[in-house]
Amino acid sequence: MLPTLVRLSKASRKALTPKQGNKDFYKGTRQAFLPGGPRTGAPGKHVVKGKAKYRLVDEQVRYFVAPSIEDIESSQPIQVRRELSEYSGQTIAVDAYVWLHRGTYSCATELATGKRTTRYVDYAMHRVRLLKHHGIVPYIVFDGGPLPAKKGTEVDRKQRRDENMARANSLAAQGKHSQAREYYVKCIDVTPQMAFQLIKALRAESVAYVVAPYEADAQMAYLERTGVVHGILTEDSDLLVFGCKNVLLKMDAVENTVISVVRSDFGSLNSPGGISLLGWTDVQFRAMAILSGCDYLPSIPGIGLKTAWSLLKKHKTVENVVRALRMEGKKDVPKGYLEAFKLAETVFLHQRVYDPTQEMLVHLTEVQHGEEWDEEKEAHVGSYIEPSLAKKIAQGDACPISLLPMDDINPTFIPRTLKPIPMNILSVARTPAKGKGKARMHLPEKAQSTSILNFFNAKPSIELKPKSASQPSFVHSTPAPVRVVAGRSSGKRTLAEVMDQEVAAKKKKRSDIDDKPMVSTSISSKFFRDTSSSDPKCKQPAMVLGEGASIAGSSRLPSLEWEKENIAAVGDDDDVVGFSEAEEEDEIDPVTQEEGYLSPTESFRRSDTPELSSPVRPRRFSPKPDEDDNFGADVLSSPPVRRERWRADKARRKARAQEKHGHDDRGPSTVLVADTPPRKSTAQAGALGPDLRDVFEDWNDLTSEIDECCDDSLESAASSRGPITPEVSMEFDIEGMADMEDEIMPDEEEIEMCAITVREERVASGWWEKYARGGNTRPGKFPVSTRKLPLPMKDRTDPVSFDQQDTPRTPQTRNHNHPRRTPETSVHPGASSKT
């Protein structure tokens, strides 16, 4: 119900001139954000400002002098587009559901037909790595069990899913597979068991996570409130109603941006779109949200956001509003609405969440002593679950729905621990062109009042943060008791400067060019960042750890050469990145950038490969015996999705095609950094070896497949969850290869390459597990950046055993058909004694 903010399209910005403007939009815009402040007047009165005439809507807020574009952009918008890198060093809670769900797109048919796959994990992990790459510490939050309050919608969905499934099956039967897929996609349900597959991957990469007992939203709100995280990244934004302060929406993996909404900005805003939240309390804000309809309670017919707002504005409290509505008799207020409202409010306020520190369930907000509390409320906030089970749920070892031990639906999927490979090819992935700009260009002339944030949108949100704010505002406002990876202290200011230049450049461009796809200038700052981050001298816990650091130093030179080679290759391939004017504005030395950017990985991996089967690896002799637990962070900067590069490439090509400004004849000297080498460049790598980055990525892609083929051979090893020993790995891989050759035969060479890599990786990680990280030798060695976080879930290698006798023992087979938890079965005896 709470919505997102729309970005103002260029066209709409253009329309800001009264003459050519679209009046509706114009009105909303000037109402909201003019520096001069609102003009007031009596409702209904017409005022004339400049050449435009406006009608006053109600008693307070009103119209402004026509803004210039500059005025708008210099004022503080409610939603700001920010670079991911601005959040470097911060811990961000991430709603895993959406990522998982999107991940299922890539394997919808397999999932629907019961085929084993874990490909849906890849999407989420790529994004996790993307966050890590930007120095962000992700804290993944999973949805848990259903709340009674939402039961209704669940049944509905189930039904729709079944319908889609049936349709898909019939289409598939007719051989119309592509059409079938369309429906398969719609019937996929993300189950806790699927989430568990992602959890395994998160464990492998030491990413903090927690499974909420009930709703991820409430859990994330709690994490933010208790200072465990700095902000919340999600797609659906009910979060503000839960009292969240810093919400990040619409993560864009191509442009590496998010939309930031900061609660504290609300008060400072004047009537966004006619709604002024100035002086509104959280209570009122929440009331408005519930009144206008939320997940837990449908709205009174005819009451939308706007009326809810004005009613509350007038009557202050919900009780008064309901009373007034009933008196007037205009709206039909359902019987018991007020009670239902209170229940909904209770859910937002007191829903049960998991406290990772106390390792038990708590209320999102503690119930006050004086507050009335009854059975019904108790049921609505979610049943209490006794701590030991709650912990298992939170860690993913128990299914939050059935409360039974987690059923690993794909035990053969054993994500390996990523080695610290600072492959910053991400930087390359960030290409100047915007792939998806078009879609966002389109803005309705009239902002419809369908969502709360739409109101905020009355003020155009600018594309980049205001110049004044080089950091998200909550960076300083949020106390961070949590251990976070330190930000890049050195070079940060310069980064800010660079970013400011970007802003300036963008603004300038924006006013000049309207139809051309916007060229991002941020690539330079990106590189700049990377430079500082991979510089061994700079204390950069996030990027390098242990052997990573030493390797980084030793392999710098070869890497550089490697890169040059690829630049040339790329050039031949007519894929040179023609940098726009924007880059010229930056004063960063290209060489420096490359140096920083270059990943030592290739040469390292290559020279190191022969040793992989040996436990003696440089890694173990980490030059950082101290607690610089950046390993995790390093893992973070793993390769981005190839697809992203592809998409970016495409966009860039398109951009180039559009603007025929002659960038094409630029010499090589203007090429700061070549685009990611084409995949075929593997063969061109010559003496320095194949492009392992690509292989590496392929490995990721193939993992599922390979695992798939080796179900049987791996079953035992998998179930033990122990370190993978070289022996086991070899055996398994050989068998796996055999199977694979029989089944899939796309490109023998490639597959073999991958298989080798896989094998090596497995072996390596086996040793890693056994020795480097191993239990006995150096306990403190394992670089868990999340170690201090309450929920570090790696070292759980033992199967969960439940001793609760009162837990329902319904046999749990596959994803579907989980016994739904009812208060009766789920409440553990004596649990309610808590309250």
Partner DNA sequence: CCTGCTCCGTCGT
Partner DNA sequence: CGGAGCAGG
Which residue in 74, 179, 450, 815 binds DNA (CB under 7 A)? 450
650 binds DNA (CB under 7 A): no
Query: How far are the Cα atoms of 227, 467, 534, 744 from residue 172, in angstroms, in the given order?
Result: 50, 54, 50, 22
141 binds DNA (CB under 7 A): no
Question: Which stretch in 312-320, 436-444, 618-626, 649-657 sits in contact with DNA by CB under 7 A?
Answer: 436-444
* DSSP category for residue 7: B
Which residue in 230, 306, 617, 652 binds DNA (CB under 7 A)? 306
Question: Which stretch in 444-452, 678-686, 709-717, 740-748 sits in contact with DNA by CB under 7 A?
Answer: 444-452
Which residue in 191, 454, 531, 566 binds DNA (CB under 7 A)? 454
The Cβ of residue 830 has, within 10 Å, a number of other Cβ atoms equal to 9
Q: Which amino acid is at 572?
A: D
308 binds DNA (CB under 7 A): yes
Residues whose CB falls within 8 Å of the CB of residue 171, separated by 6 or more in sequence, listed in order? 177, 179, 180, 183
651 binds DNA (CB under 7 A): no
**Residue 391-430 contact track with DNA, rule CB under 7 A, x = bound:** ----------------------------------------
Which residue in 116, 161, 643, 654 binds DNA (CB under 7 A)? 643
**Residue 171-190 contact track with DNA, rule CB under 7 A, x = bound:** -------x--x---x-----
The contacts found for 104-107 with CB under 8 angstroms, 24 or more apart, are 104/185, 104/188, 104/190, 104/194, 105/185, 107/704
Q: Which two tokens stand for residue 131?
A: 């966050």
Q: Which two tokens stand for residue 605?
A: 């991996």
Task: Tell me whether residue 178 or residue 833 sits nearer to DNA (CB atom).
Answer: 178
Question: Which stretch in 102-110, 216-224, 486-494, 530-538 sits in contact with DNA by CB under 7 A?
Answer: 102-110
Strand partners, 274: none
Question: Which stretch in 301-309, 391-399, 658-666, 780-788 sits in contact with DNA by CB under 7 A?
Answer: 301-309
Residues whose CB falls within 8 Å of the CB of residue 57, separated by 6 or more in sequence, listed in order? 43, 274
Which residue in 43, 301, 481, 780 binds DNA (CB under 7 A)? 301
User: How far is 338 from 612, CA to CA, in rounded Å?
Assistant: 66
CA-only gyration radius of the chain, Å: 28
Task: Tell me whether residue 53 or residue 680 sits nearer to DNA (CB atom).
Answer: 53
316 binds DNA (CB under 7 A): no
Which residue in 16, 220, 305, 673 binds DNA (CB under 7 A)? 305
Question: Which stretch in 100-108, 166-174, 318-326, 338-346 sits in contact with DNA by CB under 7 A?
Answer: 100-108
Task: Tell me whether residue 102 or residue 679 sits nearer to DNA (CB atom).
Answer: 102
123 binds DNA (CB under 7 A): yes
Task: Tell me whether residue 5 or residue 423 sits nearer to DNA (CB atom).
Answer: 5
Question: Positive or negative CA dihedral for 499, 589, 578, 555?
Answer: negative
Q: Which two tokens stand for residue 463?
A: 């594309």
Task: Tell me whether residue 450 or residue 490 sits nearer to DNA (CB atom).
Answer: 450
Q: HEC string of 708-748? A: HHCHHHHHHHHHHCCCCCHHHHHHHHHHHHHHHHHHCCCCH
Which residue in 243, 274, 546, 792 binds DNA (CB under 7 A)? 274
299 binds DNA (CB under 7 A): yes
Residues 788-817 binding DNA (CB under 7 A) are: none
5 binds DNA (CB under 7 A): yes
Task: Tell me whether residue 442 or residue 834 sits nearer to DNA (CB atom).
Answer: 442
b or e along 353-367 (b: 16 or more beta carbons within 10 Å of the residue's beta carbon)?
A: bbbbeeebbbbbbeb
Question: Which stretch in 294-302, 600-608, 806-814, 825-833 sits in contact with DNA by CB under 7 A?
Answer: 294-302
Question: Which stretch in 236-244, 346-354, 589-597, 737-745 sits in contact with DNA by CB under 7 A?
Answer: 236-244
Task: Tell me whether residue 450 or residue 725 sits nearer to DNA (CB atom).
Answer: 450
Task: Tell me whether residue 642 or residue 770 sits nearer to DNA (CB atom).
Answer: 642
Q: Which two tokens stand for residue 176?
A: 């119309």
Residue 318 φ/ψ, nearest 5 degrees: -65, -40
Q: Residue 399: which region, alpha, beta or left (left: phi > 0; alpha: psi -120 to 50)? A: beta
Residues whose CB falls within 8 Å of the CB of residue 604, separated by 6 or more in sequence, listed in order? 421, 551, 554, 555
Task: Tell me whether residue 266 or residue 732 sits nearer to DNA (CB atom).
Answer: 266
106 binds DNA (CB under 7 A): yes
Report yes or no: 380 and 149 within 8 Å, Cβ to Cβ: yes
Report yes or no: 61 and 31 within 8 Å, Cβ to Cβ: yes
Which residue in 47, 52, 74, 105 binds DNA (CB under 7 A)? 105
Closest CA to 821 of 806, 808, 805: 808
In the complex, least distance from residue 643 CB atom to DNA, rounded to whole angstroms = 5
**Residue 459-488 contact track with DNA, rule CB under 7 A, x = bound:** ------------------------------
11 binds DNA (CB under 7 A): no
In the complex, least distance from residue 32 CB atom to DNA, rounded to whole angstroms = 13
257 binds DNA (CB under 7 A): no
The contacts found for 98-105 with CB under 8 angstroms, 24 or more apart, are 98/234, 98/235, 98/236, 99/123, 99/124, 99/127, 100/124, 100/190, 100/194, 100/195, 100/198, 101/188, 101/190, 104/185, 104/188, 104/190, 104/194, 105/185
Closest CA to 363 of 243, 262, 282: 243
Q: Are strands 231-234 and 360-363 parallel, antiparallel or unpaired?
A: unpaired
619 binds DNA (CB under 7 A): no
Report yes or no: 524 and 586 within 8 Å, Cβ to Cβ: yes
453 binds DNA (CB under 7 A): yes
Q: Which amino acid is at 669?
A: S
Question: Which stretch in 66-74, 85-93, 277-285, 442-450 sits in contact with DNA by CB under 7 A?
Answer: 442-450
Report yes or no: 637 and 543 within 8 Å, Cβ to Cβ: yes
Report yes or no: 532 and 490 within 8 Å, Cβ to Cβ: yes
Which residue in 71, 189, 236, 514 binds DNA (CB under 7 A)? 236
Task: Tell me whether residue 305 or residue 784 sits nearer to DNA (CB atom).
Answer: 305
Task: Tell me whether residue 271 or residue 555 sits nearer to DNA (CB atom).
Answer: 271
Question: Positive or negative CA dihedral for 464, 465, 467, 470?
Answer: negative
Residues 15-34 binding DNA (CB under 7 A) are: 24, 27
Report yes or no: 826 and 383 within 8 Å, Cβ to Cβ: yes
Instruction: Concatenate the DSSP letters of all residues of 16-50 into one string.
Output: TSTTT--HHHHHHHHHHH-TT------TT-EEEET
Residues 323-382 binding DNA (CB under 7 A) are: none
56 binds DNA (CB under 7 A): no
In the complex, least distance from residue 105 CB atom to DNA, rounded to whole angstroms = 4
In the complex, least distance from residue 307 CB atom to DNA, rounded to whole angstroms = 3
Task: Tell me whether residue 304 or residue 819 sits nearer to DNA (CB atom).
Answer: 304
Which residue in 36, 227, 302, 775 binds DNA (CB under 7 A)? 302
Which residue in 100, 137, 140, 303 binds DNA (CB under 7 A)? 303
In the complex, least distance from residue 110 CB atom to DNA, rounded to whole angstroms = 10
Residue 523 φ/ψ, nearest 5 degrees: -60, -35
Task: Tell me whether residue 6 or residue 93 sits nearer to DNA (CB atom).
Answer: 6
**Residue 484-523 contact track with DNA, rule CB under 7 A, x = bound:** ----------------------------------------
Query: How far are the Cα atoms of 55, 717, 786, 811 from residue 798, in angstroms, in the given order?
Result: 69, 13, 20, 21
* Interacting residues toward DNA by CB under 7 A: 1-6, 24, 27, 55, 57, 102, 105-106, 123, 178, 181, 185, 236-238, 253, 274, 292-293, 299-308, 436, 439, 442-445, 447-451, 453-454, 643
